[in-house]
Amino acid sequence: MDITLTSLETEHSQLLSNKIAAQITSDGGWIGFSRFMEIALYEPGMGYYSAGAHKLGAGGDFTTAPELSPLFGAAVCSTILPVLEGLQARGLPTQILEFGAGTGKLAQSILTRLHDLGFALDRYDIIEISPDLAERQKELLNITLARSNSATQCQWLSTIPENYQGVILANEVIDAIPCDAIIFQNGFWYWYGVTVIDGKFSWKAGKPVEHHLLPESLLSGNFSEGYVTELHAPANAWMRQIAQHLQTGLFLSFDYGFPESEYYHPQRLEGTLMAHHRHHAIQDPFYLPGLSDLTTHVEWSQIARSALTGNVDDVYLSNQAGYLLDAGIGDIALEIGDPSNPETFLPLSNALQKLLSEAEMGELFKVFAFTKNIDTVLPGCTLEDLPGLRGRNRL
């Protein structure tokens, strides 16, 4: 892998590395991995998501489904439109709140599709922790709304409103929430954190993990010496907060991951932590702090249990391919594109292949959803009546 850094990039990564090393020293020579990941991604002005590096798309570090094609957002509209229409029929504001909106492409494709379908959305709000991404979102959505002469209001919020009524979206958000690493040694689970050896970040086992923090799969499974995996307390806390703050409506999330039985499979010896830099997947999470994205696969079973603590109606999990097909993405492609015109239809066809193929995003990426008090706006409707969510529930 040949990656040439500019002097500014090298300096930036070194400054953040020094910051992390100082934190390790002040904490007695060791920090949990979640603290390392938090600083590497979110340290103000220095972390990967808090500095000004180009992150998404062809020139960035990774490409998300909305970046591939507006078909993804158009398919999402098939799921959310009945909920929005139900709110509208009862005189309630029609609103969408998106977490971590990236370049704004998902928001753009949803706003465009809703406009084309003749639906007047009241609000599309975004919670974004990356200042440079927020600026890109504002520029793109201002142009999008001006072109369609739309009255939809967009605001950038810092927290989720209390008693929210509407649709909440999160595309590839949970995987970037800091997690803890743990290691199995001598019959016990230990926190697996970060120290500095010869000027470089290195793994080091810490104190034993408290039993009540371990899922049943890790307490009862048969794991080999040195088995490494992750715990996701911050992600689960975030999900509980979403479920509690949503009063009426739908939560819809897309991300890569596995249910508990697959996530903690005895053969998954090294966990799921990865770094991403310029479209390269890198196993070393200590590679170029501040310049590399750090992610972990989502453990969906605990995410679902966390949502259920917020008295949601029901939870749903399936793969992305099944979701998109049930949401009618094939028909949307034929509606938007002309199969007789290869110049315009071939890009749609190629995007469909990447979104649906088992070898690409179709199986690894999952859709997770829940509704809350949906019967008050759509009488007789359940979660699995919504387009996209009518397939087999994997939970």
DSSP code string of 126-149: EE---HHHHHHHHHHHHHHHHHTT
d(CA 98, CA 357): 26
What domains does the chain contain, in order, with CATH numbers?
A: 1-395 (3.40.50.12710)
Q: What is the mean pLDDT of residues 152-179?
A: 97
Mean pLDDT of the residues in the chain? 94
Q: Residue 156 carries which side chain, given as an amino acid letter?
A: W
**E-only strand ranges, 140-199:** 156-157, 164-171, 180-185, 188-197
d(CA 390, CA 78): 12
Q: What is the mean pLDDT of residues 342-371?
A: 92
**Structure tokens given for 362:** 């179709």
Whole-structure pTM value: 0.94
Task: Read off the pLDDT band of 343 (50, 70, 90).
Answer: confident
Q: What is the mean pLDDT of residues 369-387?
A: 97
Nearby residues of 305 by Cβ (< 8 Å), 6 or more positions away: 236
Nearest to 74 by CA among 120, 111, 125, 33: 111
Task: Compute the residue count for the chain.
Answer: 395
Nearest to 107 by CA among 82, 63, 77, 146: 77
pLDDT of residue 56: 43
Task: Read off the pLDDT band of 12 (50, 70, 90).
Answer: very high
Whether pLDDT at 128 is above 50: yes
Residue 45, classified by CB atoms within 10 Å of its CB into exposed (0-12), middle (13-18) or buried (19+), is: exposed
Q: Of all helices (H) and strands (E), which one includes residue 186? A: none
- At 66-81, the pLDDT tens digits run 888 999 999 999 999 9
Q: What is the largest CA-CA distance in the chain?
A: 66
pLDDT of residue 342: 82
- At 182-212, the pLDDT tens digits run 999 999 999 999 999 999 999 999 999 999 9
